[in-house]
């Protein structure tokens, strides 16, 4: 494709971003504004200007995004795209650490611990220190350590920080500093890094070895970072250091889509970027090519309420589109049935596929009602974020053998395979080996390969046989055999494959087939001409760094409705989107109501959810929901009130009747029949008092705030709103179920607001 051809496909701001020659560049890319195309064409344009692909570093957050971008660049410039340094932060810096890790005391074959490995190691340390595992919860401790690493706080600094120590004492876990130290040292002894270490150790490498930093500063003449609003402190410092010589840093992001603070993302990185680069050129991509005008405008009306944001005006020139439907259900189960029925009808009426639909929720636990409802209608679905192929036991068992073959210091892999298949090696013997290695500052392998010095009896001979087996695998590596050859040999000779083959149960057959599928994937890796290395070590790194979003449907049937959390939906798009569970204390989450910054992040999350929709958006909430075995009555989310009412269509309430077993059709006018297995009922439950919102940000209600019946609300009435305070009704607009009130509020900065009375909780002031 000629240069002029692809530049002609861009709008003016996109073209400005692509052809920016040198110097710092910030591309503020609104939802659906074509940022991937801009990044792709910018890389192509730079190469056409004479920049060597080897000198371009492009960082993304998923392997899938990196792969798609590389394919697009290759379509424009050809095979030169293979020479780009392009990938996720973790994969690119893992590659650098493979080359330079010896400076920090690691070999090039270090293991990358996944979450399960980290948990297993931490459980072992807690047990060794005889700490109460009910007090010292593994997930909490690892999250604490992860936060410290992402803030570049070493275990030494942590232990000497009185604030951290006081926090841990207050949480009744004064030994966290000690656990952090032991965890780090055990990982180092095992020649292993966890995901956070890949960033932390890269920072340490560049800090302590300036010659290495200088090498990569001059290598990467252009540094490009996608989704910059999601970067943490560690990622920001690395990219800033790498680009400090040439100053050719290009960041792409949208502050309105910063939703990962819980895992360390710092929105200030993008909000304050201009302060770090006074000569910064800013380009705003504001045209949304994805969604209808109604969807884009509704999203804008929500996000406008956030104070901390970069100024932009996202717009769409697509069709106006249908209004956003809001569905009220009596319960979470009813919500599931209504949404499933809606999908069923939309599919039949508009000849759509399952893949056109997505159900997005705030928490994974919400999926149950929708799964049950979809199953009753024989609608296939997939849950994104469930157990992935590579997390299954039999897969992790074989991968542990492969890991230990490459890295005999890998303690967690050793513990997994030493008695797999059964060799008669008890937990006591394994624990003794691990402790002996730690006490003598030796690797697991040094103890195992000289086991007779440490263990006596039959166990010693069995372990010695195991060591001989591992040595035979090592010979294949030394001979330069490819990953598939080595993995196939290990699967057969370890006994794993035979044990599964001999298990003739349905589960056993499935596990055997999974192992065969793993071997197939390794063969595909070896046969892929784009892979520079086809060694076992290279394959393991690829697998370990794979994210959930990179997984494919395992049964080959891709036509499924997608169920996923909103966090998982970032970067995706669907024709029909259902955002469910829009209730106070669920979305926004109860845990995100104490600070304005937290509430603004929840609002950004809602914005992300809205902007996933292309053609039609449906919102739903339940008036009651079970939580920890108790039935709670719910109040509609404040976010529903924040959407400009002119973009909404309020559906008739569809609710379960209490004490009435006869069903009534609450949608007589629908063109589709009621699917089998579903009953439609309705009742009035307006006398049920909703639970109160958490303390509002803008106004504290007087006394025991109870919303009034607004059926007869009229112009001139005085009202109180739980967030906006006191006001006077200046106008009433009644159009069927869409009853709106325009209210002029007295509090400074509130002004006049139009509220849908279906959602707004108002107390009429006598």
Q: Is 190 exposed, middle or buried (0-12, 13-18, 19+ CB in 10 A)?
A: buried
Does 29 belong to an annotated binding site?
A: yes
CA–CA separation, 230 and 604 (whole Å) = 12
35 is in an annotated binding site: yes
- Is 34 marked as a binding-site residue? yes
The secondary element (H helix, E strand) that includes residue 602 is helix 596-610
d(CA 373, CA 333): 8
* Catalytic annotation, pick one of 14, 15, 35, 625: 35
The DSSP secondary-structure symbol of 569 reads H
Q: Which of 14, 62, 217, 257 is catalytic?
A: 257
Question: Using CA atoms, how far apart are residues 150 and 153, in angstroms rounded to an integer?
Answer: 8
Active site residue 408: no
User: Would you list the DSSP string of 61-104?
Assistant: S-HHHHHHHHHHHHHHH-GGGGGSEEEEHHHHHHHHHHHHGGGG
Residue with tokens 């004492």: 169
3 state SS of 314? coil
| Residue in 15, 570, 612, 638 annotated catalytic | 612
Report whether 177 belongs to an annotated binding site: no
**d(C-alpha 261, C-alpha 263), whole Å:** 5
Q: Is 337 a catalytic residue?
A: no
Choose the catalytic residue: 36, 268, 516, 742: 36
35 is catalytic: yes
User: CA-to-CA distance for 756 and 742, rounded, in angstroms?
Assistant: 9
Q: Helix, strand or coil for residue 327? A: strand
Answer yes or no: is 569 a known binding residue. no
Give 690's DSSP letter.
Answer: P
CA-to-CA dists, residue 122 to 136, 267, 426, 660, angstroms: 10, 31, 20, 54
- 400 and 413 Cβ atoms separated by less than 8 Å: yes
495 is in an annotated binding site: no
Active site residue 36: yes
What would the two tokens of residue 408 be? 């005999």
Is 612 in the active site? Answer: yes
226 belongs to the catalytic site: yes
**Nearest CA-CA partner of 219 in 203, 243, 201:** 243
The one catalytic residue in 197, 226, 584, 614 is 226
Distance CA 92, CA 387 (A): 26
Name the catalytic one among 227, 397, 583, 720. 227
Q: Is 42 helix (H, G, I), strand (E, B) or coil?
A: helix
- Binding site membership: which residues? 29-36
Q: Active-site residue numbers? A: 35-36, 226-227, 257, 612
- Binding site membership for ATP: which residues? 29-36
């Amino acid at each position: 494709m000629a240069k002029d051809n692809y530049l002609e496909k861009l709008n003016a701001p996109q073209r400005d971003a692509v052809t920016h020659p040198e110097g710092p560049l910030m591309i503020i890319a609104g939802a659906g504004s074509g940022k991937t195309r801009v990044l792709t064409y910018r890389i192509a344009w730079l190469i056409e200007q004479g920049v060597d692909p080897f000198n371009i570093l492009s960082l993304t957050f998923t392997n899938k995004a990196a792969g798609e971008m590389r394919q697009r660049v290759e379509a424009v410039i050809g095979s030169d795209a293979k020479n780009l340094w392009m990938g996720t932060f973790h994969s690119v810096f893992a590659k650098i650490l493979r080359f330079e890790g010896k400076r920090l005391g690691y070999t090039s074959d270090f293991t990358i611990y996944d979450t399960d490995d980290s948990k297993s190691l931490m459980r072992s340390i807690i047990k060794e220190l005889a700490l109460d595992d009910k007090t010292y919860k593994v997930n909490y401790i690892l999250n604490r350590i992860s936060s410290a690493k992402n803030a570049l706080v070493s275990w030494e600094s942590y232990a000497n920080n009185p604030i951290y120590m006081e926090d841990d004492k207050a949480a009744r876990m004064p030994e966290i500093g000690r656990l952090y130290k032991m965890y780090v040292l055990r990982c180092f002894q095992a020649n292993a890094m966890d995901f956070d270490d890949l960033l932390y150790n890269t920072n340490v490498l560049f800090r302590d070895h300036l010659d290495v930093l200088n090498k990569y500063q001059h290598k990467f003449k252009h540094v490009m970072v996608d989704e910059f609003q999601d970067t943490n402190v560690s990622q920001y410092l690395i990219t800033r250091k790498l680009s400090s010589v040439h100053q050719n840093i290009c960041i792409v992001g949208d502050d309105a889509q910063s939703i990962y603070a819980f895992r360390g993302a710092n929105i200030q990185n993008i909000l304050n970027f201009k302060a770090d680069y006074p000569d910064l050129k800013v380009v705003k991509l504001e045209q949304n090519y994805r969604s209808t005008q109604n969807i884009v405008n509704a999203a804008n009306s929500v996000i406008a309420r956030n104070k901390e944001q970069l100024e932009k005006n996202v717009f769409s020139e697509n069709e106006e589109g249908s209004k956003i439907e809001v569905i009220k259900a009596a319960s979470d189960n009813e919500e599931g049935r209504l949404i499933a029925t809606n999908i069923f009808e939309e599919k039949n009426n508009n000849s759509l596929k399952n893949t056109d639909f997505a159900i997005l929720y705030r928490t994974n636990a919400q999926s149950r009602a929708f799964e049950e409802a979809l199953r009753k209608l024989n609608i296939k679905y997939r849950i994104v974020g469930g157990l992935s192929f590579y997390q299954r036991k039999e897969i992790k068992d074989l991968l542990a053998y492969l890991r230990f073959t490459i890295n005999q210091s890998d303690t967690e892999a050793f513990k997994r395979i030493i008695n797999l298949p059964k060799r008669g090696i008890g937990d006591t013997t394994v624990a003794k080996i691990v402790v002996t290695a730690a006490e003598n500052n030796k690797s697991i392998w040094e103890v195992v390969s000289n086991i007779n010095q440490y263990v006596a009896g039959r166990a010693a001979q069995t372990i010695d046989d195991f060591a001989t087996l591992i040595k035979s695998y090592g010979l294949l590596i030394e001979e330069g055999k490819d990953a598939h050859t080595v993995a196939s040999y290990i699967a057969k000779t370890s006994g794993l494959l035979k044990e599964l083959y001999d298990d003739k149960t349905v589960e056993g057959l499935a596990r055997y087939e999974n192992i065969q599928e793993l071997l197939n994937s390794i063969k595909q890796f070896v046969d892929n001409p784009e892979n520079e290395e086809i060694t076992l070590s290279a394959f393991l790194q690829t697998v370990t760094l794979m994210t959930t979003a990179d997984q494919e449907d395992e049964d080959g049937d891709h036509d499924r409705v997608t169920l996923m959390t909103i966090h998982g939906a970032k970067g995706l798009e669907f024709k029909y989107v259902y955002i469910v569970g829009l209730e106070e204390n669920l979305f926004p989450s109860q845990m995100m109501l104490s600070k304005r910054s937290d509430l603004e992040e929840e609002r950004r999350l809602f914005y992300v959810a809205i902007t996933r929709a292309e053609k039609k958006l449906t919102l739903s909430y339940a008036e009651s929901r079970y939580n920890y075995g108790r039935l709670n009555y719910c109040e509609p989310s404040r976010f529903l009130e924040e959407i400009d009412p002119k973009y909404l269509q309020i559906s008739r309430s569809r609710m379960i009747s209490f004490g009435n077993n006869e069903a009534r059709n609450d949608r007589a006018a629908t063109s589709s029949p009621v699917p089998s297995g579903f009953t439609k009922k309705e009742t009035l439950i307006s006398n049920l008092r909703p639970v109160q919102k958490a303390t509002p940000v803008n106004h504290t209600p007087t006394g025991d705030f109870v919303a009034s019946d607004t059926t007869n609300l009229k112009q001139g009435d005085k009202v109180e709103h739980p967030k906006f305070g006191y006001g006077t009704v200046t106008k009433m607009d009644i159009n069927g179920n869409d009853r709106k009130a325009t209210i002029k509020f007295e509090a400074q900065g509130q002004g006049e607001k139009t509220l849908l009375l279906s959602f707004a909780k108002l107390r009429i002031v006598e």
